Amino acid sequence: MTGEELGRRSLAADAAYCAAAAALTLLARKPLARMLAVPTLAIALPAVGTFAWAALVAKLAMRPSWRPAVGTVAVANLGASALLLTVAARRREGRLLLAATALEVGGFAASQVAALRRPTSSG
C-alpha cells in the first residue's frame, strides 16, 4: 500500500470514527456529564465540534494534494490525544474513558504519520 493509499484510508476512517463518536457522545451526553461531573453542555458542545471536524476530515481525504491534509490531521490528532491524556491525568472521574479515547486518537495520528513516511508509489 502506498503512502497516499494509507493516508486517504486513514483520513476516511478517522472521519467515520469522529462522526460515530460525536453521535454516541450526543446520545449519551447526560450520563457522560454525570460520570465526568460536568455540565451537559460541556459534553454536547465538543460533540458538535467533533461532527464539524469529521466533515472537514472527510473533505480533506478527497483533496488532490493528500500530504498536507494528512499532515494537518496528524498534528491535530497528536494535539487532541495529548489534551485528552492531560485531562485524564488530572481528573478522577472518567479517567479510563478519556485515556482510552486519547489512545484511539493517537492511533489515527500514528497511521497518518506512517502514511507520510511511505513511498508515494508502489513502483
How many Å from the N-terminal Cα to the C-terminal Cα in the chain? 11
CA gap 108, 74 in Å, rounded: 7
Q: Could you tell me the pTM of the whole model?
A: 0.89
Residues of the chain by 3-state class (helix, strand, coil), percent to 5: 80, 0, 20
Q: Tens digit of pLDDT for each residue in 28-77?
A: 999 999 988 899 999 999 999 999 999 999 999 999 999 999 999 999 99
Taking only Cα atoms into account, the Rg of the chain, rounded to an integer number of angstroms, comes to 16
Q: How far apart are CA 47 and CA 31, in angstroms?
A: 14
pLDDT in tens, 86-108: 999 998 888 999 999 999 999 99
